[in-house]
Amino acid sequence: QVRVSLAGANHMRVSWISSSSNSPSSVQYGTSPGKYESSATGSKLNYGFLLYKSGTIHGAVLGPLENNTVYYYKCGGMGKEFSFKTPPANLPVTFAVVAGDIGQTGWTVTTLEHVQKSSYDVLLFAGDLSYADYYQPRWDSFGRLVEPSASSRPWMVTEGNHEIERIPLISSFRAYNTRWRMPYEESGSDSNLYYSFDVAGAHVLMLGSYADFGQRSPQYKWLQADLAKIDRKRTPWLIAVLHAPWYNSNEAHRNEGDDMMKAMEPLLQAAGTDLLFAGHVHAYERWDRMFQGKKDDCGIVHITIGDGGNREGLATKFLDPKPENSLFREASFGHGQFKLVNSTHAHWSWHRNDDDQAKIADELWIQSLSSTGCSLPSKKMR
């Protein structure tokens, strides 16, 4: 269950699980196969849930690392050698977007195979990972399923509703927070459920649909502070990722993101957010630039891509007639690729899985708002 994630500038976190509590939490690594000039030692922990007890969950932060470089590594000083590639320091950079609801089905396998064949630098994931719900062994099978991809490129995730573990009188994210630690502390957040990171020319917000988001909440206050620090000359692209979509013309999960949108859309709009990815609805839909329910040339492009391959199937019922500002929608499994070509232009493509082939079904060139004047200081939030 080996995986890697970004952990601050020029650092990468390696996470894995061992059956023995005596296994060291160390990673040996280097830039040549079998030659490990460096090592890092981290921490270990486990957790219990009802009758389940996890293996020992290890995490070690490697770095500082060189940009755009392949590193070879071993976990715990033994076993298989893995490799990962660090993202580039500058544009261009490519994101693979499996924005949500992937689960563990045959379609999941197809989606992951297509993702692995693409040349991407970082994967963005908007929640509903394992579909374990409260059945903990599914977290282990999911970790093994995604290891080929998650061990070779950084996976950056945020929580969905299926990460919530509900039993009478208790609701928690224990498994998710313990297994999938993200760089929340590095971004000044107090919770693993929301954080941000920089990569090449992008600042990426990973927001929590299932953490408190009201104007007095820690998440809202953190978002205000985080957006105020952004330097659009250094990171001309601003991307947001969350689980429950704010714009949705599918009959599934209608209006479930409305309260969060009401609270946070003005912040993201004022900061000049270019694009927002969401999951939750098991279909694909791309909206025009939107703000407060209307088309806005300085608004956010909204893309719902909750079609990774989950066991619940596709959400096939869309509203009829189609809203004018919903530009493309389709109930198919697939994934997306978002390539930031330079500081002004990026290319988005959605690849459906039909017939086990990753066919481009929708694509779009996007101009950054920072290059249009929409995110000038006069537009920023007060």
Give the tens place of pLDDT for each residue, 255-275: 999 999 999 999 999 999 999
**Residue 301 has what pLDDT?**
98
| Amino acid at position 35, single letter | K
At residue 379 the predicted structure's pLDDT band, cuts being 50, 70 and 90, is very low
Task: Say if residues 287 and 303 touch (Cβ distance below 8 Å).
Answer: yes
What CATH superfamily is the domain 90-367?
Answer: Metallo-dependent phosphatases (3.60.21.10)
Per-residue pLDDT for 376 more than 90?
Answer: no
Query: Which of these, 204, 366, 370, 364, lies nearest to 285 by C-alpha position?
Result: 364
At residue 169 the predicted structure's pLDDT band, cuts being 50, 70 and 90, is low
> Distance between terminal CA atoms of the chain?
44
Classify domain 1-86 by CATH number: 2.60.40.380
**Residue 86 has what pLDDT?**
98
- Written in H, E and C, the secondary structure of 26-91 is EEEEECECCECCEEEECEEECCEECCEECCEEEEEEECCCCCCCEEEEEECCCCCCEEEECCCCCC
Q: How far is CA 119 from the centre of its chain?
A: 17
Question: DSSP string covering 135-181, please?
Answer: -THHHHHHHHHHHHHHTTS-EEE---GGG-EEETTEEE-HHHHHHS-
Determine whether 253 is an active site residue.
Answer: yes
Q: Which two tokens stand for residue 276?
A: 């927002």
Cα separation values, 318 from 105, 253, 283, 308, 323, Å = 24, 11, 10, 18, 10
How far, in Å, CA of 150 to CA of 4, rounded?
Answer: 6
Q: Residue ranges of the domains in the chain?
A: 1-86, 90-367
Residue 157: what are its φ and ψ, rounded to 5°?
-125, 160
Beta bridge partners of 174: none
Per-residue pLDDT for 378 more than 60?
Answer: no
Per-residue pLDDT for 380 more than 50?
Answer: no
Residue 359: what are its φ and ψ, rounded to 5°?
-90, 135
Q: For residue range 205-222, list pLDDT tens digits in order.
A: 999 999 999 999 999 999
- Residue corresponding to tokens 């509203």: 319
Of 58, 114, 253, 282, the catalytic one is 253
Per-residue pLDDT for 235 more than 90?
Answer: yes
Mean pLDDT of 282-307: 97
Cα separation values, 323 from 35, 329, 378, Å = 57, 11, 31
Task: Output the average pLDDT for the chain.
Answer: 94
How far, in Å, CA of 144 to CA of 150, rounded?
Answer: 10
Q: For residue range 318-368, list pLDDT tens digits in order.
A: 999 999 999 999 999 999 999 999 999 999 999 998 766 778 999 999 999
Cα separation values, 269 from 18, 126, 261, 298, 369, Å = 44, 20, 11, 8, 10
At residue 381 the predicted structure's pLDDT band, cuts being 50, 70 and 90, is very low
**Residue 375 has what pLDDT?**
61
**Residue 382 has what pLDDT?**
36
Q: For residue range 22-68, list pLDDT tens digits in order.
A: 899 999 999 999 999 999 999 999 999 889 999 999 999 999 999 99
Per-residue pLDDT for 141 more than 80?
Answer: yes
| 90-367 has the same fold as 1-86 | no
